Structure 1
């Protein structure tokens, strides 16, 4: 696995206050990143995401999958998912991310965005099932996409571009004080797979 000489400073905190976000840049060669993108697209049990908003059931074009050490249940947007058993590739990626970040994870929520018109609205990952102030490692494959943060009180915004094969880690009180989103864009036609490694606290 080839590491790049021009990696960002992984110790730099991209947030000015009330949390920690570190961006590691690309962890994979182009060949390895392409391999994982294709494998994840072909082998993950993708399902259209569902949400219950004000009593109305919404089906998204974006697809998701939920994997873990055990059949953990995870509830968000008023829907509950039961974790599937890790695939070989997901376990490989989990071990790599744990080695890079120094954190440990027991589950992973994957998102498949077919093109730039599919995104994610402002939200924070602070569901009661998740470890309080636990790290969330976000691994990206495919199309480069802008990723944005907004402070819940000051409304200050920060954004960066997540590259093919790159890692971003959110830690400490980030979810308590900041929202994040993946803005839609009509300029991108290629798919993106995002893996968010998490810790279910049971």
Structure 2
């Protein structure tokens, strides 16, 4: 759907050679699967993650120790700064291995990200549905994000909306999501 709220900007095919980038990052990054506790129940995170930046990052009760941003992503980060006008100094990579991997509705609204963070999200690998829900009205949007797509979430995107990548029963290959953000301490 193309009628996303103005605080979401979708740029299809923004990354050159997304298949090569996906393959290199799958091999290069130090992927983890953490335990997460939600509503008093502990289970494995339904995806693999890698946190890169200068500081530890805690969300959903999980403390993620930082790893250095590899040169491959440092160049991409510079392009993102030029594209969006926002600053980025960290990246959370998510690897969805198949349709069973997911992330529920949430906002990237941790205090370390500031009041109105801009999150630049790059999709690599298989196409997956990305859902957006407005908190005040419950209105929903679905966007199919494919390899090389960039989604910039700015302004009130984290305070007034929630987003998700739901599970799917249809056969899908692996998908990677690189979420660049500006982390403040």
Q: TM class by shorter-chain length?
A: over 0.9
Where does residue 20 of structure 1 map in the other structure?
7
Where does residue 148 of structure 1 map in the other structure?
131
CA–CA distance in 2 between the matches of 1:118 and 1:177?
25
Between structures 1 and 2, the one with greater strand share: 1
CA–CA distance in 2 between the matches of 1:49 and 1:154?
33
> With structure 1 as the length reference, what TM-score do the two structures score?
0.86
> Does the 8 A contact of 1:13 with 1:20 survive in 2?
no
Q: Note the alpha carbon deviations across 1:114-152, whole angstroms, 9 max, x for none.
A: 012211111111111212202000001000111011111
How many aligned positions are there?
184
> Does the 8 A contact of 1:13 with 1:21 survive in 2?
no
Where does residue 76 of structure 2 map in the other structure?
93
Q: Note the alpha carbon deviations across 1:135-185, whole angstroms, 9 max, x for none.
A: 000001000111011111210001111110110000011111111101211
Give the C-alpha shift of residue 53 in structure 1: 2.2
CA–CA distance in 1 between the matches of 2:13 and 2:167?
22
> Does the 8 A contact of 1:150 with 1:179 survive in 2?
yes
- Which fold has the larger relative contact order, with Cα–Cα distance below 8 Å and residues 6 or more apart in sequence? 2
> Does the 8 A contact of 1:49 with 1:61 survive in 2?
no
Where does residue 47 of structure 1 map in the other structure?
32
Where does residue 128 of structure 1 map in the other structure?
111
Give the C-alpha shift of residue 188 in structure 1: 3.0
What are structure 1's unaligned runs of at least 5 residues? 1-11
> With structure 2 as the length reference, what TM-score do the two structures score?
0.93
Question: Does residue 1:164 correspond to 2:151, yes or no?
Answer: no
Query: Cα–Cα, structure 1 residues 61 and 173, in superposed 2: closer, same or farther, change >3 Å?
Result: closer
Q: Note the alpha carbon deviations across 1:10-67, whole angstroms, 9 max, x for none.
A: xx8721xxx60000111134xx111100001000000003312234332124100000
Q: Which moved more, 1:107-116 or 1:77-86?
A: 77-86
CA–CA distance in 1 between the matches of 2:79 and 2:98?
27
Query: Cα–Cα, structure 1 residues 136 and 13, in superposed 2: closer, same or farther, change >3 Å?
Result: farther
RMSD in angstroms over aligned alpha carbons? 1.6
Runs of 4+ in 1 over 4 A off after TM superposition: none
> Does the 8 A contact of 1:143 with 1:188 survive in 2?
no
